[in-house]
Every structure is written in structure tokens, then in C-alpha cells.
Structure 1
């Protein structure tokens, strides 16, 4: 059965949306598992352990339908279901039912993958990030461009890489790429270029503070005041301590990132008159 799939608009994160064009979709197509291919740039990394787990409890009647893209040359690429396909290979099952999408580019395949996995079996943040780059999704492109300006990569914690993938994406989604740019600048000016500087809680707190009150803040002054309150390691320790007892004054009103934001406000407010303080 073939139908036209209308443009899909999903906005899983703030103003950024995932879009694919109207295209033909054929449902209930029996395809050979051996014919299905994987494009690593439009798909998450195969988790063999997960595939083995599916195989160990596989019920043939409950395999369901996988989602594939049929490219102009006839090749079939898996969009969603690669672990079930791997389990079928292990079980010696040659045929699986598929929902076949026609006429998509590789970029659009990547976006369809993100749409399909938005709520169930959500991919790892770093896989979602790389697939989003392949799809040209603005959220991921804007984040990547900002990181590159700071000579940073995303995916692991090191001097030149940020491990807090979700945290960085959240800053861009909620407050824009400029907020991330300023956040990274403030962090580096305060604590230098080190793995501890790019801690997710610290970046999240700075990003929230700048995102909400950035028009009132001088970044150089903020960085200097933050440094006066200690190293990145000391900040992290204090955030964990504050969070473990319910945040400031045991208020129990938020996450570690919220606690970090409040600490940034404390630094900024030092030496300021009450009427000039920012209440975070």
C-alpha cells in the first residue's frame, strides 16, 4: 500500500524543527534482511549487545515493521530497526516487513531517523548530534559552528572537547547559539582551557544565566568574578554540595544546572548594591 507522506514538522527542542518533504511511502513490504544496508552517517552506531539481547528473546510474530529508505539506485537503507534486523540475521530469519520511504536524500533520511526516534528508543546524544549534522538540522549545525569557533569538539571530556552533549544542545535550543558562544568565552576566561572548564553543570549554569540576563551582563567582568570564587573544580564541588541538600537554602527548586546558575548570580552580584543585583 502506497501513500504520500506529508511534510512532517516536529520541534523536540524549542524553536528548532525537524522537516522532511512530502514523499511516497509504501507499507507492509516484504524485504530480504540481507538486502538492507546501513549508512553510518544517517544512523546510530549498532549496539551489538542490544541486538544480542533482542535475539535472545526474539518472538518472530512480534518483530514488527522496520523503516527503510529506497534510494534511486534501488538500494534499501535502514532508517529505524537495525537492531531487529541484526537479531533476524542471528536467528536466520531471511524476510522482514518494512515501511519503505521513496525519494529521500541522505540528509532527509537522517532527519527521518531523528523524527522516528524522538520518543522511543532514543539514540545516544552524540549519535543524535552526528545524525543531525548529516541532516543539516539547524540546531546541530548552529551548535557545531559555535564549537568550532572555540576550537572545540563534542563527545568526550578533554582540553579541546566537551562531553556534555545534551547540555550544550540545550543551551543553543533554549537561548540561541550566541548564548553558547558567550558561555564558552566566559568559562575559558574564568578557568582557562581545561577539561574541567567544559563540565556540563558549569556550562549549563553559565548558559542559563547568560540566556536569561545576558543583556545586563559584561562577560569579561563575569569571568573575573567567577574566577575570584575559585577554580572550576571548586565550583563543581560547591554545586554538588548545594544540590545534595536541596539547592540554596534547602529550597529544593531545581537541578544542578539551576544551582550552578544561582552560583553564577552570586558571583555577579558581589559588590553590587541591592537594586543592581540579579535574582536568579
Structure 2
């Protein structure tokens, strides 16, 4: 039997699209329970992580950072279980359950739908049912699958740790073979060095080899944020210090992410104070509701034209 799709009333095995639906309706699977699964996958949620603690860091871990983890506090009957969300697992697996029952839930996977929080909720629910020592491939997400919000404590702090490598892949309580260690070394060689700034929320210093950057996931609504950035740009105060430059923004999971080029060799520690000062300027600029002047409108148009949407 292949992966299972859970409907509101029963569990229905996944079969070929032209085969009879196992639910007994007499219809082909593709127009019965298969159709429901496809409809669930097509649903698009503009801000899938809104309402979760650390929304901006969820986005950063999914889109910006190579290697990071954060513990999760589960609710209900699963409150006693240990769970960790991470950026990536070997082979881009959705999740795995360690021998001791701890769950590792990955944000960067091969496939996803229009609602990543629902995908993660479905994966986490399947991981809670899996036996220790197994990987988790949840299969198509049913329409009534829980979202991530339904399974984790919304009042718990979301504390991100950025790692230099993927050593968290290794289970300290299990032997690791040479093949797994070789895969780990290969993955570590491709990591983009990063650090989470401590002076502000959800800003990450990244070293791309030939240049250093700050990528900052901001929680503001898009229109006021663009206005605020435009005001600062027109005033020449949209930088993070001498020699830095705001390249533009990209959109990820419904939030804007401004990106700054830094002076070569700038460390994460060196950008902490400029970032904190900029955050104060930005808050004031976003709160300003007066009409934009000519130079500010021109700056805003430039920012809008340099956007890239990531889904």
C-alpha cells in the first residue's frame, strides 16, 4: 500500500489517477479523493507563518539561512514529545524521527504547496505517528490536515541557532556510518556562512564569498514598508553605515526582505549597531503617513521594480 490520504471520515490509499477510488464511490481516483488532495495542494496562503511566534525567523530559515535549528513546543497529547525545526535534512527529507523519538522537521524541502504551514503541519502529524528511527515522507496533503499552528504552542519563544555546518543531522545516540559522514561533509562544503544579528529581529549577516550582505525579514505590511524605505532612500539614510548599499527587496512568504551589500570583510558584530540604529529610523519612517514627495515617489518606484517574489 502506498501513501495514505486522510479524509474527514476514513483513510484512503493513494492509487493511480485512472484507477477506481478505494473509498468505494465507483469514481476514478483523480475525480474523487485524488481531486480533494490536489485542491488542498493548490490552496495559496499569502503569509503562511503569520500568527506563529517568530514569523520572520520562520521565513528566514526557509529562504535565507543554510543551517539553523529552533526547538518547538508541541501541544495537546504531543506536549511531551521533543521536536526541532531545522533548515534542511539529508536528501531534503521533510522530517525524520530519531531513535529516541525526537522529531526533526525540515523547512527546505524538494516539494511544497501554496501553504507551507499546512505542509509542515501534515508532515509533523505524520512524524508523531511514525516509529523511532524512521524518515517521514508524508505523501499528498489532505484538505483536513492540521496546519503547523494547530500543533505547536503559539506562546512559546522561537529561538533560532545558526550553525556552521549540518552536524545536527548526526544522532548522538546512534552510530554514524562513513556514507552518512561523507554526505555531511559534502553538504557542509556548500554552506553559506551566516549569523543572526542579536540587536534586531530576523536580520541575518551572510558571507557569499565575494561579498558580505545583510538580509532582513521585516514584519511590516508591504505598502507602509515600501513608503518608509523610500523616505529613507531619498534622505540618503537607508544604509547600514558608510560604504553599504540597499540593493532592493525580495518577497518571501508574504513578507519583504531588504538586502544590503556591506563593505568587504564586514563581520556580523560590526553591523550590529548600524542595524539597531537603522531599525529606529525605519520605524519612524513607516509611521510617517504624510504623502511622499517627488524624490520619495521615485525612490519607491525603484524599490518596487527591483522586487522578486519567492514562493
TM-score tier, shorter chain, comes to: under 0.3
TM-score normalised over the length of structure 1: 0.27
Larger gyration radius, structure 1 or structure 2: 1
Structure with the higher fraction of residues in helix conformation: 1
